[in-house]
Structure 1
Amino acid sequence: MNGNVIVGQSGGPTAVINSSLAGVFKTAKDRGAKKIYGMCNGIKGLLDEKYVDLTEKLDSTMAIDLLKRTPASALGSCRYKLPEVSEGKEIYERIFEILKKLDVKFFFYIGGNDSMDTIKKLSEYANLVKSDIRFMGVPKTIDNDLAVTDHTPGYGSAAKFIAATMKEIIRDGHVYDSPTISIVEIMGRNAGWLTAAAALAKSDDCEGVDLIYLPEKVFDVDHFISKINELSKKGKSIVVAVSEGVKVADGRFVFELAEHVEFVDAFGHKQMSGTAKFLANKITAVLGLKARAIELSTLQRCAAHMTSRTDITEAYNVGGAAVKAAFEGESGKVVVIKRVSDDPYMVITETADVNKIANIEKKIPLEWITDDDYVTQELIHYIHPLIQAELSPIMVDGLPRHLNLTL
């Protein structure tokens, strides 16, 4: 089927999301796509007819290689929730009118859970109006919470950054002759995959973090204070990894126990911040011990200087696999990664029905979380292959060089 390609990025950025974009572009070009457009700021930008011709922007092998090493979303992103067709038919008519104008036959969307909801709704509308446009989801999220796939591109690099940063925080705590207490807040609303990566810091050259708290289990503030008090008597520095989304028994987020200004995005998600600060203040108030709060915040999302080569390679491959599947007739699907071997680590790509992925969160199995506020060796073994090897940035004048497609 002849026609043009359009690709967009949505949701939170990662260190390797542009590698998936490069995979889509290169594979589509190799398969003879006439034009390859990039949506500026995802589906929201498309509605405003904001797009670029990627063939003009990515006009050399060097540009593609630079794109792969550029963190964040080079096309820009959005958090825009498409309404149900029954509530906003005119929006779908507008999108398909623009796609027809551009002669687009293949639509690719790189993103996480909410982005797959967009693919689901667009492919359903395409079926409704008998459109021949093919819609494919390309997985991305540092949260690693997409269903069906073994893991998501973006997670491995974020996990690598978190583990390395925890080792450095632990080293910092041993500098002085008096112990310090560091509470490190790591992203994770309902799934603790990122925070669990802190366990990788423990090795023959590092004692590792002392406690790990994940949103899959209820957080007990009194129990936490008791554990800190117990550990403090050993006279050593304490480092705690805590997910921003941990909740107490009544369902409130821990950060909601302190006064805060609440912000809710288009998908109804509360802005997560303040868990570590609340817990550090609680330690000082109850135990009289000095404690500091560290929020990794956005630093963990786009640390391209700490990219996992495994991660960036898989990100590129899922982009290419999405194009291959669409050009061979598939639509309403998402490319997923299937782990076929642990030792040696090997994966393949497959496609799965978007309905089995959109709006479904994959959480850490409870059997991988220990009763003594840590994680099991099985979970560490699951993460470990995803952080392997490195890909150095292209350095210019002492700093990483990045590519901006929307300038």
Structure 2
Amino acid sequence: MTGNVIVGQSGGPTAAINSSLAGVYRTAKDRGAGKVYGMLHGIKGLMDEQYIDLSDYIKNDLDVELLKRTPAAYLGSCRFKLPEIHEDMATYEKIFGILKKLEIEALIYIGGNDSMDTIKKLSDYAILTGSDIRFIGCPKTIDNDLALTDHTPGFGSAAKYIGTSVKEIIRDSYCLEYDKGLVTIVEIMGRNAGWLTGASILAKGEDCEGPDLIYLPEVPFDIEKFKERVLKLLKTQSSVVICISEGIHTKDGKYVCELGNNVEFVDAFNHKQLTGTAAYLCNYIAAEVGCKTRAIELSTLQRAGSHLASRVDILEAYQVGGAAVLAADEGDTGKMVTLIRHSDDPYQCGTEVKDVHKIANDEKLVPRNWITHDGTYVTEAFITYVRPLIQGDVSPIMVDGIPRHIYRPTGKK
């Protein structure tokens, strides 16, 4: 590698996204890259010429280890949809002008579905204009919904956090008894894919019965049948814990959270902001059943919990970052690094690169046969799939009793 590399982060952060950044940086330097630049706030920041030389911030092995253990996007993220090439050539001319000025040989973009759309469009423009810059996608999303990869870095750590938190919520819910019972509804991220909510099954074990019901968006939600199941459970137990995806929807496609209020915010990719599903269902059950209810939204906690990161996840995130640089150095472009599982026990997984055109704007859903027939739980196949991804721990580097993160001054007062 004789030129420079630039790397960006996009979309929702994870506990492992910075481990991929560390993998990109270390591999690029090891393979001879002159400079490794970091886009500040993804492709949107690059368009405003906001970038840094990562060597000014990552100075030694300790910094690399801190980076791998730091949650959120160290470089800052964005949700920015590039226009279609034929609709706005000027945008692409501007981007490629900046890349040329920085003598960029390869651009690595760490992100999910929408980020792979960015890689697709940039690589297509490079082909149209004869540019020799190479564009590689590095997978990242707690949602685990990227096509052609067994799983995505970030998912394992989020799954570990969810399984642990749900187990603790179950313990707490049985502490007190109420005359008509207690129903706790835990809302977990997942718009159209229920991978994260399915991971709540990890709470189940010899010392915990796990959640009583699990609802994924892959199966339409029937609110009347939901009430009937809650009533049936309350006849035999004093506490009921239910895990739901934020994106569960009725048979006609309406999100349950929209039944209680209007979802007004829509991002650049036309995604509605989903929130309040658990609160709506708790209010509904309280009114219909008359029991005490509690709504819990894990929200950003499930993607920021680096203190519960999976060692497998952090190592694989670092691995795919390095593999992205390697692919670019070997001449690949318009590709995304994928994880290919070879076996469950012992768990073995490797990397390949796949055409990003077959990945961008597609979604990998939980297989229907991994969800029970009535749509209220997940099967053993789901557990077999997810359990290897949460193994091992990554000990935080503690200072004064609190985890230390790598810090980049942002100018914020």
Settle same-fold status: TM greater than 0.5: yes
**Which position in structure 1 is the counterpart of 2:355?**
353
Which amino acid is the alignment partner of residue 11 of structure 1?
G
| Counterpart amino acid of residue 14 in structure 2 | T
The equivalent residue for 2:135 is 135
1:377 and 2:395 are equivalent in the alignment: no
Alignment of 1:172-187 (within 5 A): 172-178=172-178, 179-187=181-189
Matched, 1:392 2:412: no
Q: How far apart in 1 are the matches of 2:261 and 2:117?
A: 33
Q: Give the secondary-structure state (helix, strand or coil) at the position aligned to 2:300.
A: helix
1:88-99 to 2 correspondence within 5 Å?
Answer: 88-99=88-99
RMSD: 0.8
Counterpart of 2:239 in structure 1 is: 237
Mapped to 2, the partners of 1:365 and 1:404 lie a distance apart of 40
Partners in 2 of 1:210 and 1:322 — Cα distance? 41
Q: Which runs of 5+ in 1 are unaligned?
A: none
Query: Are 1:147 and 2:138 matched, yes or no?
Result: no
1:159-308 matches, within 5 Å, as 159-178=159-178, 179-308=181-310
- 1:196-230 deviations in whole A, cap 9, x for unaligned? 00011110000110000000000000000010011
- Distance in 2 separating the partners of 1:40 and 1:235: 52
Q: C-alpha separation between the residues in 1 aligned to 2:109 and 2:353? A: 14
Residue 250 (structure 1) shift:
1.2
Percent of residue pairs bearing the same amino acid type: 62
CA deviation map 1:167-224 (0-9, x unaligned): 0000001111334210000000000000000011110000110000000000000000
Distance 2:237 2:328 in 1: 60
Question: Structure 1: which amino acid aligns with 2:377?
Answer: Y
Verify the 8 A CA contact 1:191 1:364 in the aligned structure 2.
yes
Shift in CA distance, 3/125, structure 1 to aligned 2, threshold 3 Å: same
Deviation, 1:235, is 2.9
Shift of 1:384: 0.2
Report Cα offsets for 1:293-339 as digits up to 9, x if no partner: 10001110110000000000000000000111110111110000000
Whether 1:61 and 2:94 are equivalent positions in the alignment is no
Residue equivalent to 2:45: 45
User: Cα deviations across residues 40-67 of structure 1 (Å, max 9, x unaligned)?
Assistant: 0000000000000001111111111100
Q: Which runs of 4+ in 1 moved over 3 A?
A: none
Report if the CA contact (8 A) 1:52-1:406 is conserved: no
Which letter does structure 1 place at the counterpart of 2:98? I
Code of the aligned partner of 2:26: K
The answer to whether the 8 Å contact 1:322/1:334 transfers is yes
CA apart distance, 1:19: 0.1
Aligned residues of 2:170 and 2:210 also touching (Cα < 8 A): yes
Task: Give the letter for the 1:43 counterpart.
Answer: I
Deviation at 1:261, TM superposition (A): 4.7
Mapped pair 1:17 → 2:13: no
1:402 to 401, 405, 411: 405
Letter in 1 for 2:198: A
What SS does structure 2 have at the residue aligned with 1:297? coil
Measured in 2, the distance between the counterparts of 1:317 and 1:235 equals: 46
> What does 1:327-346 align with in structure 2 at a 5 Å threshold?
327-346=329-348
Q: Which residue identity is paired with 2:60? A: S
| Consecutive unaligned residues in structure 2, runs of 5 or more | none
The number of equivalent residue pairs is 407
